[in-house]
Structure 1
Amino acid sequence: MSGGGGDGERTRTDADDVTLIGHRACAGQYPENTVAAIERAVPHVDAVEIDVRRCASGELVVFHDEELDRLTEGGGRVADAEWDELRELTVLDSGEAIPRLDEALRAVPAGTAVNVEIKERGLAGDALDAADEADAEVLFSSFLPDALAALRDRDPAADRALLVADGDPEALVAAATDLGCVGIHPPTDLVTEPGFVEAAHEAGLAVNAWTAADRDDAERLLDAGVDGVIADRWDLF
């Protein structure tokens, strides 16, 4: 996945040079965050992005939402469900099961990177242990600065990126730098504001922007000079 930026000049990214990251393993095309989605997306992307949280029996599971009801026939919080219950649920009536993090990482082949988004605190040790067993290059990202700090404290060599939603570009870049991140992940509307990409690149941060839903979004991000595009589909370029 993309490392630090360039010399700070704002230039359009060539589509051949940008890192294409399948959001939730291309949620616009496949049942999100499943092993099947990963396997179907990886021939077309440079990296897949997946979400991780902990269930009641302690396993790390790959699931975006805090609640089960949008994506499965189940209900309640993931954190309150045992793994034996979760493993019987299927995602979006696809017949595909919710995977554990280690299962999802095993589905990512060598040569394809994976962006593991940490959805809650207290996952650092187990997430790093799972990443250590994976063949893929792993980048951890989170909206939670203290979750990134815990990853840093446990393994300073683990690549990390700060997810952001809004705010002053200089302050956000400073926060990512203070955490020792290699990247920053802003939304489309923020990254296209003047000065954001330049500030990140001057600080040596890669900029991977979320979430491109269509070709227009992708073109806007290329024009902004990003290093990576986090997209719901792989057929945007």
Structure 2
Amino acid sequence: MSRTDPDDVTLIGHRACAGQYPENTVGAIERASPHVDAVEIDVRRCASGEVVVVHDADLGRLTDAAGPVADADWDELRDLTVLDSAAPIPRLDEALDAAPDDLAVNVEIKEPAVASDALDAARGAANDVLFSSFHPEAMATLRNRAPEAARALLVADGDAERAVGAATDLDCVALHPPIDLATEPGFVAAAHEAGLRVNAWTAADRDDAERLLAAGVDGIVADRWDLLPGTERSSRD
């Protein structure tokens, strides 16, 4: 059944609404938080061991520096700014501290080895935290260390049977498919039948959001907070 009320859907700001704010930054989280139900942020480890909030493995697109994030110490990263802003790359604990307590946070684990450290960083957060990853081994690590931690398997392609099977084997609570997979006939129904929520990525415009609403997804991961029809959602209830 298609959803008819956009308020039934969880609106998740992709990289804290990367289409509107400097992605994955404290400032983006603060500015997006009045308008969304959750923010999605990406984490990986830098050379000195800190868990940092950055999507790319390499610094070149985001900053004036070059080279892998994994080769840069925190003392170097903290002085860099993201895109054309004055906003620095934050650590995960800093990003969580910036999120209001009633804002859910989706922490995407970009490297399997970061899973345990991301879990430790999030333990003190007041927020509801959902961990997601394309790496099944990251989900397995979290399941084994903290079965109560909410987990979502990211998938890029395939079919509903394989995706649902992989997510249920890992005791996930949700599947995160791309738009084209989420809107395939029967995908959302198969996930729901298995007890999984479906949060689809990444809506860039109103047409994307409309397609996902029609498919009956539970959450829309969006680059902007003003994509749901009839909403220019100015604040959360």
- Please report the TM-score for the alignment, with normalisation by the length of structure 2: 0.95
TM-aligned CA deviation for residue 220 of structure 1:
0.3
Contact 2:175–2:196, Cα closer than 8 Å, also in 1 = yes
**Cα distance in 2 between the residues matched to 1:170 and 1:181:** 15
TM-aligned CA deviation for residue 125 of structure 1:
2.0
**Cα distance in 2 between the residues matched to 1:104 and 1:219:** 30
Counterpart residue number, 2:7: 16
Contact 2:177–2:201, Cα closer than 8 Å, also in 1 = yes
Counterpart residue number, 1:84: 75
Residues 43-65 of structure 1 show CA distances to partners (whole Å, capped at 9, x for unaligned) of 00000000000000000000000
- Please report the TM-score for the alignment, with normalisation by the length of structure 1: 0.95
Among candidates 86, 106, 109, match of residue 118 of structure 1: 109
Counterpart residue number, 1:137: 128
Secondary structure in 1 matching 2:113:
coil
Contact 1:124–1:154, Cα closer than 8 Å, also in 2 = no
Amino acid at match of 2:49: G
Secondary structure in 2 matching 1:123:
helix
**Cα distance in 1 between the residues matched to 2:134 and 2:4:** 25
**Cα distance in 1 between the residues matched to 2:151 and 2:225:** 23
TM-aligned CA deviation for residue 133 of structure 1:
1.1
Among candidates 162, 172, 196, match of residue 163 of structure 2: 172
Contact 1:73–1:89, Cα closer than 8 Å, also in 2 = yes
Q: Does 1:193 align with 2:203?
A: no
Counterpart residue number, 1:31: 22
Counterpart residue number, 1:62: 53
Contact 1:13–1:226, Cα closer than 8 Å, also in 2 = no
Contact 2:159–2:181, Cα closer than 8 Å, also in 1 = no
Among candidates 28, 31, 35, match of residue 40 of structure 1: 31
Counterpart residue number, 1:215: 206
TM-aligned CA deviation for residue 14 of structure 1:
2.1
Amino acid at match of 2:197: A
Counterpart residue number, 2:93: 102
| Corresponding residue pairs, total | 228
TM-aligned CA deviation for residue 123 of structure 1:
1.5
Contact 2:168–2:194, Cα closer than 8 Å, also in 1 = yes
**Cα distance in 1 between the residues matched to 2:7 and 2:76:** 43
Contact 1:13–1:227, Cα closer than 8 Å, also in 2 = no
**Cα distance in 1 between the residues matched to 2:4 and 2:217:** 6
Contact 2:52–2:90, Cα closer than 8 Å, also in 1 = yes
Secondary structure in 2 matching 1:16:
helix
Unaligned runs of 5+ in 1: 1-9
TM-aligned CA deviation for residue 12 of structure 1:
2.6
Moved more, 26-35 or 11-20: 11-20
Contact 1:87–1:98, Cα closer than 8 Å, also in 2 = yes
Residues 13 and 206 of structure 1, relative CA distance in 2, 3 Å threshold: farther
**Cα distance in 2 between the residues matched to 1:200 and 1:74:** 42
Contact 1:21–1:45, Cα closer than 8 Å, also in 2 = yes
